[in-house]
């Protein structure tokens, strides 16, 4: 399977704990994006990388959120001191620069903060 | 910020009927994309539109990029049970890199 892969698919945690999600993009794609989706809404942009450089961060990305893409391949999204409001589906997407905005999404990680 | 208004929010139709949904925005986009999302899964790309006025088909799906570049519609002909799901429009602005999504249209089909 050469699509975007996300792990874990589901994460249940207690408020105050730290969580980390992983995304493996399509192998030749140099751009990687993180989105958050809450129930009944469309995905909302969080941040994106071109290769290993993080080029844009949304105001939705509070100081408790950090994303990395250390070698320009896989990416991790960490949430520190989780809050109940962080419960959502976290989606990763990847694209190839110059393809006019087409982004391919993974299956997502659903986070539940108790 | 940019917002996409997608309508209708939900549709209940009989199998075999045609479906039409649309998206409007106050902003101009370079690309319009239509995705379908099944429960617990990520969005899957259906159609991409790059030019104002462009009409593109993918099987029973047809989508158009509005002339003003501020709107798009998606039609599904002869609906079948596997068309059930949530359909999202998304706009892309060159330079901004991110996709801006509509709120989705939930399609339910009665057999």
Of A11, A42, A55, which to mutate for an interface test with B (greatest number of B Cβ within 10 Å)?
A42
Residues of chain A above pLDDT 70, percent: 99
Structure tokens at B65: 């990029």
In the predicted model, is pLDDT for residue B39 greater than 80?
yes
CB A23 within 8 A of CB A5: yes
Q: What would the pLDDT profile of A65-109 be if each residue is shown by its tens digit?
A: 999 999 889 999 999 999 999 999 999 999 998 887 899 999 999
Question: Hey, what are B7's tokens?
Answer: 């309508």
DSSP designation for A71: T
Whether residue B42 lies within 8 A of chain A, CB to CB, comes out as: yes
A39-A41-A47 Cα angle (round to 5) = 105
Whether B92 sits inside 8 A of A100 (CB atoms) is yes
Residues of A in contact with B104 (CB under 8 A): 40-42
Cβ of B40 under 8 Å from any chain A Cβ? Answer: yes
Q: Which of A97, A82, A113 is nearest to A30 (CA)?
A: A97
The Cα B19–Cα A41 span in angstroms is: 21
Residue of B nearest to A100 (CA): B31
DSSP state of B96: T
Cβ contacts of A40 on chain B, cutoff 8 Å: 103-104
Cis peptide before B8 (omega within 30 of 0): yes
Tally C-beta pairs within 8 A across A and B: 70
pLDDT at B93 over 90: no
Question: Which residue of A25, A43, A49, A67 to mutate against B (max B Cβ within 10 Å)?
Answer: A43
Where are the strands (E) in B1-111, listed by range? Answer: 4-7, 10-14, 19-25, 31-37, 44-49, 55-58, 61-65, 71-76, 85-92, 99-101, 105-110
pLDDT digits (tens, 9 = 90+) for B13-27: 999 999 999 999 999
Mutate to test the interface with A, among B39, B69, B97 (most CBs of A within 10 A): B97
């Amino acid at each position: 399977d050469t699509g975007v892969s996300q792990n874990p698919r589901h994460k249940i945690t207690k408020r105050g704990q730290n969580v980390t999600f992983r995304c493996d993009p399509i192998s030749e794609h140099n751009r990687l994006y993180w989105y958050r989706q809450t129930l009944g809404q469309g995905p909302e942009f969080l941040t994106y990388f071109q290769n290993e450089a993080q080029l844009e961060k949304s105001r939705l990305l509070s100081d408790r959120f950090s994303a990395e893409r250390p070698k320009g391949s896989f990416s991790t999204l960490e949430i520190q001191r989780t809050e109940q409001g962080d419960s959502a589906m976290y989606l990763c997407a990847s694209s190839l620069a110059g393809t006019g905005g087409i982004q391919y999404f993974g299956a997502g990680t659903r986070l539940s903060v108790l | 910020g940019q917002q996409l208004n997608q309508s209708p929010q939900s549709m209940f139709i009989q199998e075999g009927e045609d479906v039409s949904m649309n998206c409007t925005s106050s902003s101009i986009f370079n690309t319009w994309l239509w995705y379908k999302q099944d429960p617990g899964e990520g969005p899957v790309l259906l159609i991409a539109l790059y030019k104002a006025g462009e009409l593109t088909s993918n099987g029973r799906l047809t989508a158009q990029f509005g002339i003003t570049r501020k709107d798009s519609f998606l039609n599904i002909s002869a609906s079948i049970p596997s068309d059930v799901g949530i359909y999202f429009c998304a706009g892309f602005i060159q330079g901004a890199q991110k996709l801006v999504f509509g709120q989705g249209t939930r399609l339910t089909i009665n057999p």
